């Protein structure tokens, strides 16, 4: 199924007000807004493509996918339970998630998260809820919890991200149950909780707290 170019308050394939489809769908260039209650904005099954959509003001997660999906170049803002939630083995790239009611971007095991912006969300900017993820070249700024949270995401690789002015840690890579994530070439600036905790330092990171250069290990 391909659904493309729709505008308005929601397109329902079930009794809820958002877009809800099964596996192998293509959801392209739609605008879904202000479907409240417990309704999400866009929900898909496995192996779907979700691209260039604008989702705002839903009562639940703005965009939620099954495993193996590609979620690219969407904007998710002002959604009640988070911006984007991707299933295991998904690729999440080039999206903007801001001012959502929980985490900006949440991903499952073995996902790739690259080139996204997650700002001013009520939870973490980016959260890996399971291990083996690659998280690189993202900007996470002014989120109410950690910039990037891999406390349940051991064996992940965290590279080239900018974590700025988050209320928690810039990078929280301390996983008590698994091997910590590896990090390198990240910039952590003025995060209230501190630059980072946990993880294995592979070099070329930059950490500052209000103009003072501090150790990144």
Position 74 scores a pLDDT of 98
Position 64 scores a pLDDT of 95
Position 15 scores a pLDDT of 39
Position 119 scores a pLDDT of 98
Position 174 scores a pLDDT of 81
Contact 188, 161 (CB under 8 A): no
Closest CA to 113 of 76, 150, 82, 77: 150
Position 24 scores a pLDDT of 95
Position 48 scores a pLDDT of 97
Position 160 scores a pLDDT of 98
What radius of gyration, in Å, describes the C-alpha atoms of the chain?
17
pTM, entire model = 0.92
Residue 110 CB neighbours (<10 A): 18
Tell me, letter by letter, the H, E, C secondary structure of 62-125. Answer: CEECCCCCEEECCEEECCCCCCEEECCCCEEECCEEECCCCCCEEECCCCEEECCEEECCCCCC
Q: What is the bridge-based pairing of β-strands 169-173 and 126-128? A: unpaired
- Cα separation, 201 vs 209, in Å, equals 18
Look up residue 170 and give its two tokens: 């810039």
**Ranges of the chain whose pLDDT falls below 70:** 1-17, 36-39, 153, 175-179, 217
What domains appear along the chain, each with residue ranges and CATH number?
49-213 (2.160.20.10)
- Helical ranges in the chain per DSSP H: none
Position 10 scores a pLDDT of 46
Position 36 scores a pLDDT of 67
Position 100 scores a pLDDT of 97
């Amino acid at each position: 199924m391909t659904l493309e170019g729709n505008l308005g308050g929601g397109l329902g394939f079930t009794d809820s007000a958002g877009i809800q489809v099964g596996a192998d769908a293509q959801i392209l260039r739609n605008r879904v807004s202000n479907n409240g209650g417990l309704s999400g904005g866009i929900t898909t099954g496995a192996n779907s493509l979700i691209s260039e959509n604008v989702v705002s003001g839903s009562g639940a997660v703005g965009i939620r996918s099954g495993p193996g999906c590609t979620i690219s170049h969407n904007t998710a803002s002002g959604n009640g339970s988070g911006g984007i939630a991707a299933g295991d083995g998904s690729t999440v790239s080039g999206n903007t998630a801001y001012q959502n009611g929980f985490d900006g971007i949440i991903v499952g095991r073995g996902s790739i998260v690259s080139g996204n912006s997650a700002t001013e969300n009520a939870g973490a900017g980016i959260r890996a809820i399971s291990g083996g993820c690659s998280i690189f070249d993202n900007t996470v700024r002014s989120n109410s919890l950690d910039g990037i949270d891999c406390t349940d995401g051991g064996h992940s690789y965290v590279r080239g991200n900018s974590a700025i002015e988050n209320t928690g840690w810039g990078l929280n890579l301390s996983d008590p149950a698994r091997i910590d994530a590896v990090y390198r070439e990240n910039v952590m600036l003025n995060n209230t909780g501190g630059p980072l905790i946990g993880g294995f330092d592979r070099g070329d990171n930059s950490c500052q707290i209000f103009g003072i250069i501090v150790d990144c290990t």
